[in-house]
Amino acid sequence: MCIRDRVNIERMFKLMGVESKVADQKDAKELKLSDGKIEFRNVGFSYEENRQILTDLSFTLEPGEKLALVGGSGAGKSTIAKLLFRFYDTDSGGIYIDGQNIKEVTQLSLRQSIGVVPQDTVLFNSTILENVRYGRPGASDEDVKEAIRLAHLQEFINQLPNGYDTKVGERGLKLSGGEKQRVAIARTILKQPGILIFDEATSSLDSASERAVLTAIDDVSQGKSSVVIAHRLSTIVKADRILVLERGQVVEQGNHENLLKQNGRYAHLWNLQQHTEHKGNV
Ligand code: ATP
């Protein structure tokens, strides 16, 4: 692994305000990603004593499947994503990727295999082209431009005063939430990770922008195992597996149809959101 990659990952963590709490085992091996099968086996986790966040959580995500995490604020959605990225170690049980316990592989190889599209993307004071190139620092201009096209950012860039060379970030052009998310998607396309984590934006994007983001997410996650932290149920009806979380517990799991039939918590949330969206449109 080259030093440049290591520095980039550390910088990214700093910017995300996250300090890794785990250390590599002495004999840690590189993660060998083949199909991208993800298994949570009886996972238990708490940030603090006496406050269990996840209890005996088990699920399997077959290669290429899409997992959606739903539930109210504080239910434990981000915690599951953080454990998969190994910001923290589980207290009990284990997380396996293609049969390898993520505690036994190097953090670097694990994190290079996983692409994260966060809710709020950090932009550097540089051009839009350089901001996207950050996904893979050695990438050619051609590859960066292709990633921009695939992330549905081209039209936006065409309207900028200096196109690809337009300065963005704190001292440059401010991007909207949806545009920033597409920069993150373009970075992820460049990185080409085998596993993807999306943190869907909570802030309401306008509908054209939301459509562009969702189409880009759909395109990039095609055939890849992906985890989506979902805030709006309408965006995850096609997910292969949905975990419904409440106060750190999985209260239901299944796909959209199964969960509606169960007529439980998910069906209740679904009806509630349909009602709200309908009212919002009146
Ligand atoms: P949201 O939709 O608001 O982002 P979430 O479902 O992603 O919520 P988590 O962030 O996973 O929820 O949090 C689950 C629980 O863990 C919450 O009760 C939260 O207060 C607690 N928690 C999260 N991070 C920490 C931390 N670093 N230290 C202590 N407790 C934490």
pLDDT tens per residue, range 221-252: 888 999 998 887 877 888 999 999 998 788 99
What average pLDDT does this structure show over 142-152?
A: 92
- 93 alpha carbon – ligand 1 mean position (Å): 20
Rounded distance from Cα 141 to ligand 1 centre (Å) = 39
How far, in Å, from the CA of 242 to the mean position of ligand 1?
Answer: 19
For the sheet containing 92-97, what is the strand order? 51-61, 38-48, 92-97, 100-101
Residues with CB under 6 A from ligand 1: 47-48, 53, 71, 73-79, 248
Tell which wins on pLDDT, 207 or 112: 112
Higher-confidence position of 16 and 191: 191
Q: What are phi and psi of 251, to 5 degrees?
A: -95, -25
- b/e sequence 247-281, b meaning 16+ C-beta within 10 Å: ebbbebbbebeebeeeeebbeebbeeeeeeeeeee
Percent of the chain, pLDDT > 90?
50
Is the pLDDT reported for residue 163 higher than 90?
yes
Q: What was the pLDDT predicted at 14? A: 53
Higher pLDDT, 127 or 204: 127
Quickly state the pLDDT bin for 63 (edges 50, 70, 90): very high
Burial of residue 85 (number of CB atoms within 10 Å: 0-12, 13-18, 19+): buried
Q: Which of 78, 231, 250 to mutate to test the pocket of ligand 1 (most atoms within 8 A of CB)?
A: 78
The one-letter amino acid at 186: A
Report the atom number in ligand 1 closest to the C-alpha of 69. 6
Q: Mean pLDDT across the chain, nearest whole number? A: 86
> How does residue 24 score in pLDDT terms, banded at 50, 70 and 90?
very high
Q: What is the pLDDT of residue 6?
A: 45
Q: How far from each other are the two terminal CA atoms of the chain, in whole angstroms?
A: 55
